[in-house]
């Protein structure tokens, strides 16, 4: 049978280990740049750097990939062992910190199949899932949940507001085999429901009966003209009148310009076309409920939640103001593990983050923060699958 879903976190590590439930074996040194591939589709993509940012809870544990150039597209991805989530949950989780108080730009991730050409990843690359916050101006402050179905992206019909402050937030998407889903922010459920109900994957189960006809005596007009209302006698006034204050110009030549006429101006007494006031229709029955029938074009699909050969996570973004930090990437089939992992990573440093602690311990320069962290980079092959990244807790 195929391996269980991958648990993938893996920006910050300098060691790679193979971890099973029984043993941990150091393997070989690895840099985060070796785990993440920059797209070469464009020559002017923005660059990522490794840093904990301007403020943090822990200078080592809070290091992540940060966008570093303004008004740039970004495209980077990381590959892991392919798997299918058929028959089990799929959990996608990561943290985002817009410490620059972003004005316009994405903070979402994309999940791809194994056949993605990472060197040519772009906004046109077909993805399985796009999930996470997107902010632009005062209108767009939402969490995208876009799911690919039959090679077409389907956006969620509900609107979810994202966090807009400059602190680190944990975003989690859960898809289940029973076709239900949850979206969490900071380990709190903010939206949930059924995939079929909240996306337009399938035709509706029921449709209006095309043979049904509304009864002739069915009144669906909520308001009618008041038959007792009478137009005032002084209502009718012309819309425009002659300007009686205008004077004929001294140099006006009737032979050349014709007989002078004063110009027309808007009549201040004009009130428009008179209409009787509206009153409630005493015969109003409401909107006629057309009888529903089973949609002959509807066919259930119990595999909407499922994807084959899930193998790549990517950041494909545009940002006007750079500075966003991505960290704690996790892909798993274990919902409880994901929640615990969020508490053990984001949960342990968020209080210090939000308290505005700028540093702990010795001052660390921007150049030194771009170097690899001394934390352990691990790959776990357990019942949960392949894990790449910082354990962020004792093993």
Under 8 Å between Cβ of 113 and 85 = no
DSSP letter assigned to residue 119: G
Task: Tell the burial category of 305 from Cβ atoms under 10 Å away from its Cβ (0-12, 13-18, 19+).
Answer: buried
d(CA 125, CA 37): 15
Helix (H) or strand (E) holding 196: helix 195-198
Q: Distances from the Cα of 90 to the Cαs of 29, 365, 378, in angstroms?
A: 30, 38, 21
Under 8 Å between Cβ of 121 and 109 = no
Under 8 Å between Cβ of 380 and 8 = no
| Own/partner long-range contacts of 262-266 (Cβ < 8 Å, ≥24 apart) | 264/240, 265/240, 265/241, 266/239, 266/240
Strands in 24-29's sheet, in edge-to-edge order, are 7-8, 385-389, 376-382, 15-19, 24-29
Can you give the length of the chain in residues? 395
**Binding site as annotated, residues:** 108, 110, 127, 134, 316
Q: Distances from the Cα of 362 to the Cαs of 52, 58, 60, 365, in angstroms?
A: 14, 12, 12, 10
What are the structure tokens assigned to 39, written together? 């797209």
Q: Distances from the Cα of 228 to the Cαs of 232, 234, 236, in angstroms?
A: 12, 18, 19
Please identify which residue in the block is written with the tokens 């939000």.
Answer: 354
**Binding site as annotated, residues for an alpha-D-glucoside:** 108, 110, 127, 134, 316
Residue 35's SS3 state is: helix
Sorted by sequence, the CB contacts under 8 Å of residue 305 that are 6+ apart come out as 85, 90, 175, 176, 177, 179, 181, 195
d(CA 384, CA 341): 13
């Amino acid at each position: 049978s195929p391996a269980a879903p991958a648990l993938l976190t893996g920006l910050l590590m300098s060691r790679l280990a193979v971890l099973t439930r029984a043993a941990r074996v150091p393997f070989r040194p690895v840099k985060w740049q070796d785990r993440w591939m920059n797209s070469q589709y464009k020559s002017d993509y923005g660059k990522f750097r490794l840093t904990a940012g301007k403020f943090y809870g822990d200078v080592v544990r809070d290091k992540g990939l940060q966008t570093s150039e303004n008004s740039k597209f970004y495209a980077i991805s990381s590959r892991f062992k392919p798997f299918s989530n058929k028959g089990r949950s799929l959990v996608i989780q990561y943290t985002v910190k817009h410490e620059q108080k972003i004005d316009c730009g994405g903070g979402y991730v994309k999940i791809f199949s194994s056949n993605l050409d990472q060197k040519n990843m772009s906004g046109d690359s077909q993805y399985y899932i796009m999930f996470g916050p997107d902010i632009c101006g005062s209108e767009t402050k939402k969490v995208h949940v876009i799911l690919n179905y039959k090679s077409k992206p389907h956006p969620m019909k509900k609107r979810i507001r994202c966090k807009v402050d400059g602190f680190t937030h944990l975003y989690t998407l859960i898809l289940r085999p029973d076709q239900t889903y949850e979206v969490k922010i900071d380990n709190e459920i903010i939206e949930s429901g059924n995939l079929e109900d909240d996306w337009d994957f399938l035709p509706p189960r029921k449709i209006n009966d095309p043979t049904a006809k509304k009864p002739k005596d069915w009144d669906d007009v909520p308001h009618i003209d008041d038959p007792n209302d009478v137009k005032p006698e002084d209502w009718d006034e012309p819309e425009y009148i002659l300007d009686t204050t205008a004077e004929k110009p001294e140099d006006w030549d009737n032979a050349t310009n014709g007989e002078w006429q004063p110009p027309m101006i808007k009549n201040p007494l004009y009130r428009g076309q008179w209409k009787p006031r509206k009153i409630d229709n005493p015969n109003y029955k409401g909107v006629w409920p057309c009888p529903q029938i089973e949609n002959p074009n509807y066919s259930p699909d119990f595999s909407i939640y499922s994807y084959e050969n899930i193998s790549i996570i990517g950041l494909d973004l545009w940002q006007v103001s750079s500075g966003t930090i991505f960290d704690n990437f996790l892909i798993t089939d274990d919902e409880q593990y994901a929640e615990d992992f969020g508490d053990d990573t984001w949960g342990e440093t968020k209080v210090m983050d939000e308290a505005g602690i700028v540093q702990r311990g010795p001052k660390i320069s921007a150049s030194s923060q771009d170097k690899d962290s001394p934390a352990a980079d691990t790959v776990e092959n357990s019942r949960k699958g392949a894990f790449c990244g910082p354990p962020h807790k004792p093993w």
